[in-house]
Amino acid sequence: MRAMILAAGLGTRLRQYTNSLPKPLLPVDGTPLIVWNLLLLRQYGIHEVIINLHYLGHMIEQALGDGTQWGMQISYSKEPVILGTGGGLRQAEAFFQGEDFLTLNADTLIDIDLGEVQQVHAANHARVTMVLRDDPHVEQWGVVETTNDNHVVSINGRGHCERGDVGTLQPRMFAGVHIVSPRVLAHCPPGQSSSIIDAYVMELESGATIMGYLHAGYWSDIGTPERYEQAQRDVDAGYVTLSSRAAG
C-alpha cells in the first residue's frame, strides 16, 4: 500500500512557530513532526509516500529529500494554489496506481496499529475506512456517526443512508487517518480546491460502505501552540515514543 501525507497547510494558528518554518518540520523531541509520521508508515511496511506541498514546501523537500535516509521513496505533489484535502488527493491520483491508499495529516501525532486498520478495511470491502476517536468535545471537531458495528452513516449531519435498523448511533471524531479507494476521487474536481469529506458524504448517499476504526491510543492534533507544547510534554512522559518506530 502507498500513502500520502497532507502537508500543504498554512499553519496560521501556530504562526509564532511557523513564520519561517512549515508546521510539518516543527520538532517534537528533536525530530520533525512529519518524520514521526514517515517512521510510523515504515513501521507497518509502507515505504512509498507522496507529500503535498504549499507553504514553505521547498523546506520540506530539502529536509526529507527522496527518503533514502529512512529506507523510503518520497515523491512530492506541489500546489502553487492550495487544493484542500480533496483537490490535493486528486492531483496525486496517478501516484496511487489505481490501488487503495492510506492518507494522514502531517500535523497529527498518533500511535496506532496501521496493520489493523488495513485489515478492517479489507475485511469489510470498504470504500473508505476512517480512524475515529471517542472525545468528550466531539462537536468541536465534527461529528461522525457510526452504528454499533462501526459503519459510518453520517458526517457532520450529512450523508445518512438507509441501513435498516441501525440502533443507537455513536458520535465520534475523525482522527485524520484514513484508507481510501481511488474511486472516491472521482467526486473531487481536478485542479480545484475541495474537501475529501464532501466526497465521503457523496459515497454515503450512494450507499457505499464507509467503515470506522475506533482508536483509543495516543493522538494529538498539533494545531495550536497549547497542543504543540502538550505534545512535547506527552513525549517527555513516554506516552508516545520514536523508539517503537525505529525498527520498521
Between the CA of residue 20 and those of 9, 53, 109, 145, 231, what are the distances in Å? 14, 15, 21, 39, 21
Over residues 215-233, the pLDDT tens digits come to 999 999 998 999 999 999 9
The radius of gyration of the chain's CA atoms, rounded to the nearest angstrom, is 17
Question: What pLDDT, on a 0 to 100 scale, did the predictor assign at position 243?
Answer: 78
Please report which confidence band the pLDDT of residue 242 belongs to, taking 50, 70 and 90 as the band edges: confident
φ, ψ at 217 (rounded to 5°):
-85, -165
Helix axis angle for 33-43 and 114-123, nearest 10°, is 60
- Output 246 or 228, whichever has higher pLDDT: 228
The CA distance from 49 to 199, in Å, is 22
Q: Is residue 247 scored above 80 in pLDDT?
A: no
Question: What pLDDT, on a 0 to 100 scale, did the predictor assign at position 164?
Answer: 47
Specify the pTM: 0.94
Residues 173-179 have a mean pLDDT of 97
- DSSP code at position 230: H
What does the chain come to in residues?
Answer: 248
The CA distance from 142 to 146, in Å, is 13
Over residues 5-32, the pLDDT tens digits come to 999 988 788 888 788 899 999 999 999 9
Between the CA of residue 84 and those of 66, 81, 150, 179, 237, what are the distances in Å? 24, 9, 27, 17, 34
Over residues 118-168, the pLDDT tens digits come to 999 999 999 999 999 998 888 888 899 999 999 999 999 898 755 544 568
The CA distance from 134 to 18, in Å, is 30
Residues 72-95 have a mean pLDDT of 97
Residue 129, classed as helix, strand or coil, is strand
Q: Is residue 41 scored above 90 in pLDDT?
A: yes
> Which of 43, 185, 38, 190 has its CA nearest to residue 100?
185
- Residue 186: how many CB atoms within 10 A of its CB? 12
| CA 137 to the chain's CA centroid | 20
Provide the β-strand partners of residue 77: 52
Over residues 56-72, the pLDDT tens digits come to 999 999 999 999 999 99
Q: Can you list the domains of the chain with their CATH numbers?
A: 2-238 (3.90.550.10)
